[in-house]
Structure 1
Amino acid sequence: MSAKLGEPVDTGTAIAEGRYSTEEAARARQRAARVSDRPAPDLAADAGRLALSRAGRDPGEIGLLVHAGCFHQGVSFWNTASYVQRKVLGHGEVMAFELRQMSNGGMAALELAAIHLSAVPTVPAALLTTADRFAEPRFPRWSADRGLVFGDGGTAMVLSRDPGRLRLVSTATYSEPSLEGLHRGDDLHEPPADPGAPLDLRARKQVFLKDLPVTETIARNEAGMLTAVKRCLEDSGSDITGMAAVVVPFFGADLAHKQCIDPLGIPEEVTLLDYGLGIGHLGPGDQFAGLDHLIETGRVRAGDRVLLVGVGAGFVWTCAVVEVTHD
């Protein structure tokens, strides 16, 4: 497990430069966002090497590599996963592919890798990486969407059948495709009508909400997440009150409460909300970065269980329960 994040840029700086509004800052309580000038695939490679080192794994033991990202990875018509494979593993005895499931990509990779390792006994271990660099001006990280700020970083996780410090107990996925238009709007031009224009996710949502009321959109979003969480907890034989921590996406405070914390009925303190308010939303990497933070800071100990909640545009929710086996 590892995370390689950009450098913190203070919210006050973004406000002073006119890139972030004081009203949004007050609602989100965002203190800073991580910003990097390095390409996203290199952030993934850095995180992948560190994860392998921490796991004590030789690159030759990895037979599956899954890379997830939300935004452009630097080059069009190219396989980012093969780049990470070359930089981190350097051998060809591996299936390497990109997974595109927006902010749920890391969690989806975890579930798919677990299924793959269960079905293919000749594959000893898998490497999962995520990375995004929300580079301005094409992606205005502070104002592209309402309720959250986007941060740059790469994360990685090694998954194997061998016992380790963490044990994957259960996973579950649920999806609600009726909400896919929330991040699409009404423009399916390829290439885009104006490929250089800054992304405006708020405008896309306004188009979608003309046909589906906000209240119904919120209700479907909440129901989808709760369905995935319920199935995951039931499969693990756990209750959410028994979780030492619940890692939800690194949204701003108001959005995190409305979409995750309040529907789950959990106190803010059991989440990593405060940690995320100094980082920003990492796209598919929030859950891996959050779990890495819990382990590295000693916040969880042997016997503790952690619930990871993934939320991705589409909409798709993948949840997992992991258990700390030893300190």
Structure 2
Amino acid sequence: MGLYPDVGILSFGSYIPEKTVSVHEVKDRYGISDELIERVQIECVHVAADHEFATDMAIKAAKKAMEKGKVKPEQIDLIIYSYISWAEHFIWADYGKIQHALGAINSAAIRLEQSCNAGIMALEYGCAKIQSNPDINTVLLVTAETWKEPLVNRWTCTDGCFFGDGASAVILQRGVKGSQIINFCNKTDGSLNYIWRIPLVGGTKHPITPEHVEQGLYFGSMIESARRNLKNEDERKEVGEKIVSLNIQTLKELLQKIGKSKKDVDKLVVYNVGLHFLKKIADSIEIPLENTSAYLAKNHGHIGVVDIFLNLEKMIEDGNIQKGDLVFLFSGGTGYCASSTAIQF
């Protein structure tokens, strides 16, 4: 029956900005090598308009999910909003803006953060709230990301992908059939917490000053943070091995939890990092790349926490997930953390 037999996915919604930028348009400006382009296999990303921010896109995605699911605002009992780190304001109840804009007057609203991993974590939290609380029947999960300069450069802040903008949403509801959420597996290796500490200044430990801005220290760069914390090739190799090991362990334990083998997994939905990394994830459960969501990264890039719900929606729309499929979702994030879930369609 699974861990959450009474909970299912009612509907999806997404919002992707119209503007696209090809990596080939900016490669010379930012010094992006052909080798990196070939390795990650991301050709273009969608970019939000100057006046468009994460909560704006989140509201649009949520409204689409509500429309598709025929859910009225007052029916929503809980809203869970997730993004990576690039908030519109340093301190702000952005989840409150979303709740108010949707007119969800009966809902509680929270923000759940766990880097790119927050989508699957929010999915489990939403399922658990419905399962454990008879007063909660409908939960809206909504995610959004924007990557705006000068705080972060979507093309150069990491060497594992290029970042796009967008939003995705899912509505969970009690009694929905056809998408049984069976179980989850979540892992964190907190020994790696320090590697992606971004930006280097701006918190209570190192309050930002005008000099910091001039020196380029108040800037989001995963590459620079890793470079400062990993002093040599041996340290970088050790971290890479830890990440791969945690990913494999997460998927292996999920299989054990649900009593299935690798050959039972029909489709894999993953986040939109570089193709070289996606191949390692697919290989770990011996699933062909064509049975994964990897093809969606090419024209979207990595949209942080948005990827998982967006890719699941797109694979269903494209006919790549069918009734009877056992589908695994997998994502990883800074921390380092990894999450997976199994859904029976």
The question of a shared fold, defined as TM-score above 0.5 by the shorter chain, is answered with yes
1:122 aligned to which of 117, 130, 135? 135
Post-superposition shift, 1:19? 5.8
Aligned residue in 1 for 2:188: 175
Note the alpha carbon deviations across 1:47-70, whole angstroms, 9 max, x for none. Answer: 111111212222222111110001
Residue identity opposite 1:149 in structure 2: F
Post-superposition shift, 1:237? 3.0
Note the alpha carbon deviations across 1:260-305, whole angstroms, 9 max, x for none. Answer: 2344433221221121121111111111011000111121111112
Aligned residue in 1 for 2:67: 53
| 3-state secondary structure, aligned to 1:128 | strand
Aligned residue in 1 for 2:78: 64
User: Is 1:272 the equivalent of 2:293?
Assistant: yes
Aligned residue in 2 for 1:247: 269
Q: Counterparts of 1:237 and 1:56 in 2: how far apart (Å)?
A: 35
2:91 aligned to which of 55, 77, 85? 77
Post-superposition shift, 1:189? 4.8
Query: Where do residues 105-120 of structure 1 align in structure 2 (5 Å cutoff)?
Result: 105-120=118-133
Kept in 2, the 8 Å contact 1:185–1:205? The answer is no
* Count, aligned residues: 322
| 3-state secondary structure, aligned to 1:70 | coil
Residue identity opposite 2:251 in structure 1: V
Post-superposition shift, 1:256? 2.6
Aligned residue in 2 for 1:214: 236
Query: Where do residues 274-313 of structure 1 align in structure 2 (5 Å cutoff)?
Result: 274-313=295-334
Q: Counterparts of 2:339 and 2:333 in 1: how far apart (Å)?
A: 9
Q: Counterparts of 1:128 and 1:51 in 2: how far apart (Å)?
A: 10
| 3-state secondary structure, aligned to 1:221 | helix
Which stretch shows the higher mean deviation, 122-131 or 189-198? 189-198
| 3-state secondary structure, aligned to 2:77 | strand
Which stretch shows the higher mean deviation, 215-224 or 175-184? 215-224
Q: Counterparts of 2:103 and 2:166 in 1: how far apart (Å)?
A: 20
Q: Counterparts of 2:308 and 2:261 in 1: how far apart (Å)?
A: 19
Query: Where do residues 15-164 of structure 1 align in structure 2 (5 Å cutoff)?
Result: 15-18=27-30, 20-37=32-49, 38-91=52-105, 93-164=106-177
What value does the CA root-mean-square deviation take over the aligned residues?
A: 2.0
Evaluate the alpha carbon distance shift between residue 108 and residue 17 of structure 1 in structure 2; reply closer, same or farther with a 3 A threshold: same
Note the alpha carbon deviations across 1:87-114, whole angstroms, 9 max, x for none. Answer: 12331x2221111111001111011111
Post-superposition shift, 1:165? 3.9
Note the alpha carbon deviations across 1:149-184, whole angstroms, 9 max, x for none. Answer: 111010000112212442211111111101111201
Aligned residue in 2 for 1:227: 249
Q: TM-score, normalised by structure 2?
A: 0.87
Residue identity opposite 2:141 in structure 1: L
Which stretch shows the higher mean deviation, 49-58 or 15-24? 15-24
Residue identity opposite 2:257 in structure 1: D
Residue identity opposite 2:116 in structure 1: S
Q: TM-score, normalised by structure 1?
A: 0.92
Kept in 2, the 8 Å contact 1:68–1:98? The answer is yes
Q: Counterparts of 2:307 and 2:257 in 1: how far apart (Å)?
A: 23
Q: Counterparts of 1:167 and 1:161 in 2: how far apart (Å)?
A: 11
| 3-state secondary structure, aligned to 2:81 | strand
Note the alpha carbon deviations across 1:216-266, whole angstroms, 9 max, x for none. Answer: 2122212222222122222333333222211121011123334x2344433
Which stretch shows the higher mean deviation, 128-137 or 157-166? 157-166
Post-superposition shift, 1:186? 9.6
Q: Counterparts of 2:314 and 2:302 in 1: how far apart (Å)?
A: 15
Kept in 2, the 8 Å contact 1:170–1:232? The answer is yes
Note the alpha carbon deviations across 1:185-238, whole angstroms, 9 max, x for none. Answer: 794552345358442211111222228722321222122222221222223333
Kept in 2, the 8 Å contact 1:34–1:279? The answer is yes
Q: Counterparts of 1:233 and 1:51 in 2: how far apart (Å)?
A: 30
List gaps (5 residues or longer) in structure 2.
1-11
